[in-house]
Amino acid sequence: MSILKLHYEIDGEDFTRAGEASASVKKRLRQLGVKPDATRKVSIALYEGEINMVIHAHGGDIDVEISPEAVRMVLADRGPGIENIDQAMKEGWSTAPDEVRSLGFGAGMGLPNMKKNSDEMQIETVLGKGTTVTMAVYL
């Protein structure tokens, strides 16, 4: 298996389509014969990140690199940024409005769940400029 690079543009205005990129990556991993465990971890981590880009940051870009060693994901948005990363990483912390909660999200579980499902995770954020979340799941 050589290195496979995938790129997705995430539409921040379309909640219905959120998750399409993650679904597409999941399908590729299956086709490549990646173990179900690792595939599940990537799917959950990426999907949570993709949803965050849509509900908190008006969309952005996702780049995924699949190598024999790892799946590396970079989620870059041009949203409002995160004021306090430590706080955002806490289970239950959410700034999501009721409208998001009525859609089934906004429990403050996404970032901790991304951390739990990835082997490496890093958040770079600048207020008013955007957020880049980088994750890796080892294969």
Partner 1 sequence: MTVNDIKNILDCELISGEGYLQQEVLTACGSDMMSDVLAYVKDQSILLTGLVNCQVIRTAEMMDMICVVFVRGKKPDEDMIQLAESRGIALMSTSHRMFTACGLLWENGLRGGNSLS
Ligand X SMILES: Nc1ncnc2c1ncn2[C@@H]1O[C@H](COP(=O)(O)OP(=O)(O)OP(=O)(O)O)[C@@H](O)[C@H]1O
Under the rule (CB under 5 A), what is the footprint of Mg ion?
52, 110
Alpha carbon distance 32, 1 (integer Å): 8
What's the closest the beta carbon of residue 107 comes to ligand X, in angstroms?
Answer: 4
What's the closest the beta carbon of residue 16 comes to partner 1, in angstroms?
Answer: 5
Which residue is closest to ligand X by CB? 110
Alpha carbon distance 62, 53 (integer Å): 10
Residue 125 vs residues 63, 72, 77, 80: alpha-carbon distances, Å: 17, 19, 9, 9
110 sits near ligand X (criterion: CB under 6 A): yes
Strand pairing partners for 64? Answer: 6, 73
Cα maximum dimension of the chain:
45
Binding site for partner 1 (CB under 8 A): 15-19, 22-23, 26, 36, 40, 43-44, 47-48, 51, 91, 101, 103-110, 112-113, 116
Specify the stretch interacting with ligand X by CB under 6 A; choose among 6-14, 38-46, 61-69, 73-81: 73-81
Interacting residue with ligand X among 62, 70, 82, 136 (CB under 6 A): 82
Specify the stretch interacting with ligand X by CB under 6 A; choose among 22-30, 39-47, 61-69, 77-85: 77-85
Alpha carbon distance 42, 118 (integer Å): 7
